[in-house]
Amino acid sequence: MGGMRFEGSDNYVATRDLTLAVNAAVTLQRPLLIKGEPGTGKTMLAEEVAAALGLPLFQWHIKSTTKAQQGLYEYDAVSRLRDSQLGDPKVEDIAHYIVKGVLWQAFECETPCVVLIDEIDKADIEFPNDLLRELDRMEFHVYETRQMVRARHRPLVFITSNNEKELPDAFLRRCFFHYIKFPDRETMGKIVDVHFPDLKKDLLREALEVFFELREVPGLKKKPSTSELLDWLKLLLAEDIPPEALRAKDQKAAIPPLHGALLKNEQDVHLFERLIFMARQNR
Amino acid sequence: MLVDFFLHLKDRKLPVSTKEFLTLLEALQRGVIGHSLDDFYVLARAALVKDEAHFDKFDRAFAEYFKGIESLPGMDKAIPEEWLRQSMKRHLTPEEQAKLEKLGWDKLMEEFEKRLAEQKGRHAGGSKWIGTGGTSPFGHGGTHPEGIRVGGKSENRSAVKVWEKREFRNLDDQVELGTRNIKVALRRLRHFARTGAAEELDLEGTIAGTAKNAGWLDLHLRPERHNAVKVLLFLDIGGSMDDHVRVCEELFSACGSEFKHLEHYYFHNCVYESVWKDNRRRHTERIPTQEVLHRYGADYKLVFVGDASMSPYEILYPGGSVEHWNEEPGAEWLTRMTTTFPRAIWLNPEPEHVWQYRQSTGLIRNLMGNRMYPLTIDGLTRGIRELGK
């Protein structure tokens, strides 16, 4: 995997520092931890890197109840109990009741592969610690069948976090880290271009104007992010809204059409409408 | 080679470890980056810093270290500081600047290396050599539109580096406090317990039950885990607290979505014999504090939010309240509350360094047994840790 390099893709605009962090992780075969505002493309990164490098992707989405063990394997004791009561001959071999987890599947993969551990901070605080050795050595022991599972090729591991919990230092020391900061206007233009290549120039300009202005509105509980902008543009295109309709400056503070796609919080919508109302009165 | 750099980061209190430093060296050795200081900056940050809250600190440390002795890694040529010292400065007219030809980046690097090799002594002014105040693309304080700045302060801003922009300034955990950050901090207070309807399979219980049942399947269920922490929130409202409305609102809304058992009450400056739940009806619908003390169990955690800025009389003397005649001093009520709810903290939206100048802040702090924390992410985290003890 040493010779591989990621340079962004047709569907994903990667800034220079992001590609550098990815390449460092690829070259040194260390996990890459990605943080950033929600909706800035953390999860998409793994998919795009896998696609760009032509590697299979194994995804492991973490929930608050996910245990580290589930990524390795699970022993389905209940099925075995049931089979034993039904007199099924399968019951003799415990291996029939070992269910492989995402990491096991990735370790078994014939080619190098990409593993995404999505939203690791959702899990219990001990979760990352329980995976330390497995991610470091890329091997683990199956207690039930007394077998050792080793990765044929060290997979490229992407880990995303929303910062809901602090990750243990020992875990962090083993990763590269990149924080996806919110794209500036220029990068955002590129991102939109990649998603909607046919978008009219003036519509894009007006839309970005509205979008960045909206992000500047003080007191919003959740600022609209990249994914919300893309959804909104999709709606604008579907409804065939002309660019002039977005030009708030002409009509002085009109409510942008379909703003529900950008503001997802009732209080934010109220706040926004109130501000617009006040702006109109001051006209 | 970069040991000094590493020690410098350590010196600036960045939590970097030897393992991470070795990773950085390995990455350099494996040629992850080319000969560019910008790339080195990004790589060093990805390898050494694991929390965006430390990015700003890293940027500052990086700028400090690479100021003066700035050398491009891999080029193996340090530029003597003395030789770069700003001794002379030429001010060019815009016309003159426009005349300077613009070189492409690759060409620029190439030229730079070439001249590094050619150059012998210190150089200032002129238009070819590396030095200060000249019009050559190299050196610093110069006016070439696409120059590479080497050390020193940027004056014309055309070669400003990322780490001097300090884009991550407001991510430092001392300052920013958004609803989301507060939620994250509050989450540390989670205390999971199993109560309510049994709907999750208890595997150990099932196995044990089945074994006891001589092999016949005996399913056991148990209730799901959820956050069982209980919080009593007391908010100071009005007067000097008006400056802090936004941050208090944020705290309040974050609490609301984070805790199932959350009760809030308002008070003004200090708690006395009654509090209220609705600010619009604060004069008609007051709740005796005594009732609050009786209603909730000692397992509730008590959180005061207030700036503790008032006249000391309001705490120490009967009748000291600015709003009404209070029979007993505020201190008495405060002590009563912290005795009933031993897990208690006071969050103060005023910055920590001004506390010492206010007598009342000191008094409240003493009454709270020093458990007063600033209303920043860092303070909240410390406070939550205290509550969790």
pLDDT of B141: 43
Of B20, B26, B52, the CB nearest to A35: B52
Chain A residues with beta carbon closer than 8 angstroms to that of B51: 172, 177
Of A27, A85, A163, the CB nearest to B32: A27
* pLDDT tens, position by position, A74-89: 988 888 888 888 888 8
A136 touches chain B (CB under 8 A): no
Furthest-apart CA pair in chain B: how many Å? 97
Cβ–Cβ below 8 Å for B52 and A173: no
Q: CA-to-CA distance for A29 and A26, rounded, in angstroms? A: 5
Q: Confidence band (pLDDT; 50, 70, 90) for A116?
A: very high
Cβ–Cβ below 8 Å for A28 and B26: yes
CB A161 within 8 A of CB A167: yes
The H or E element spanning position A60 is: strand A57-61
B167 touches chain A (CB under 8 A): yes
A residues 263-282 lying closer than 8 A (beta carbon) to B:
none
Cβ–Cβ below 8 Å for B46 and A27: no
Number of inter-chain CB pairs under 8 A, A vs B: 83
Chain B residues with beta carbon closer than 8 angstroms to that of A84: 215
A85 touches chain B (CB under 8 A): yes
A28-42, A103-117, A144-158, B56-70: least confidently modelled range: B56-70
B37 touches chain A (CB under 8 A): no
pLDDT of A230: 86
A77 touches chain B (CB under 8 A): yes
What is the interface pTM, i.e. ipTM, of the complex? 0.75
Tell me which chain B residue has its CA closest to the CA of residue A35. Answer: B52
**Percentage of chain A with pLDDT > 70?**
92
Is residue A270's pLDDT more than 50? yes
Cβ–Cβ below 8 Å for A28 and B49: no
Mean pLDDT of chain A: 83
A99 touches chain B (CB under 8 A): no
Query: Which has the closest alpha carbon to B335: B366, B294, B373?
Result: B366
Q: Any bridge partners for residue A16, and if so which?
A: none
Strands B344-348 and A147-150 turn out to be unpaired
Terminus-to-terminus CA distance in chain A, angstroms? 62
Q: CA-to-CA distance for B104 and B146, rounded, in angstroms? A: 8
Chain B residues with beta carbon closer than 8 angstroms to that of A221: 179, 253
Q: CA-to-CA distance for B115 and B151, rounded, in angstroms? A: 16
Of A20, A163, A175, the CB nearest to B33: A20
A24 touches chain B (CB under 8 A): yes
Cβ–Cβ below 8 Å for B19 and A174: yes
Distances in Å between the Cα of B144 and the Cα atoms of A111, B88, B93 are 51, 16, 12
A117-121, A149-153, B310-314: least confidently modelled range: B310-314
pLDDT of B227: 66
pLDDT of B180: 63
DSSP state of A40: S
B residues 205-224 lying closer than 8 A (beta carbon) to A:
206-207, 210, 215-217
Q: CA-to-CA distance for B372 and B351, rounded, in angstroms? A: 12
A255 touches chain B (CB under 8 A): no
B243 touches chain A (CB under 8 A): no
pLDDT < 70: residue spans in chain B: 1, 68-199, 224-227, 256-258, 280-281
Of A24, A35, A81, the CB nearest to B32: A24
pLDDT of B19: 87
Q: CA-to-CA distance for B58 and B133, rounded, in angstroms? A: 29
Task: With H, G, I as helix, E, B as strand and everything else as coil, classify residue B18.
Answer: helix
| pLDDT greater at residue A169 or residue B131 | A169
| pLDDT greater at residue A57 or residue B105 | A57
Tell me which chain A residue has its CA closest to the CA of residue B225. Answer: A65
Cβ–Cβ below 8 Å for B19 and A173: yes
Q: The tokens of A210 are what? A: 């509205």
Q: CA-to-CA distance for A188 and B215, rounded, in angstroms? A: 63
| pLDDT greater at residue B244 or residue A12 | A12
Residue A89 to chain B, least CA–CA distance (Å): 16
The whole-number average pLDDT for the span A99-106 is 92
The H or E element spanning position B197 is: strand B192-201
Chain A residues with beta carbon closer than 8 angstroms to that of B253: 221
Cβ–Cβ below 8 Å for B217 and A81: yes
pLDDT of A155: 92
Tell me which chain A residue has its CA closest to the CA of residue B21. Answer: A173
Q: Confidence band (pLDDT; 50, 70, 90) for A55?
A: very high
Distances in Å between the Cα of B205 and the Cα atoms of A83, A232, B89, B216 are 19, 50, 81, 13
Q: The tokens of A175 are what? A: 């990763």
Cβ–Cβ below 8 Å for A17 and B42: yes
Q: CA-to-CA distance for B104 and B38, rounded, in angstroms? A: 17
B43 touches chain A (CB under 8 A): yes
Residues in chain B: 389
Burial of A111 (0-12, 13-18, 19+ CB in 10 A): exposed
Task: With H, G, I as helix, E, B as strand and everything else as coil, classify residue B131.
Answer: strand
Tell me which chain A residue has its CA closest to the CA of residue B50. Answer: A177
CB B177 within 8 A of CB B248: no
Q: What is the pTM of this model?
A: 0.58
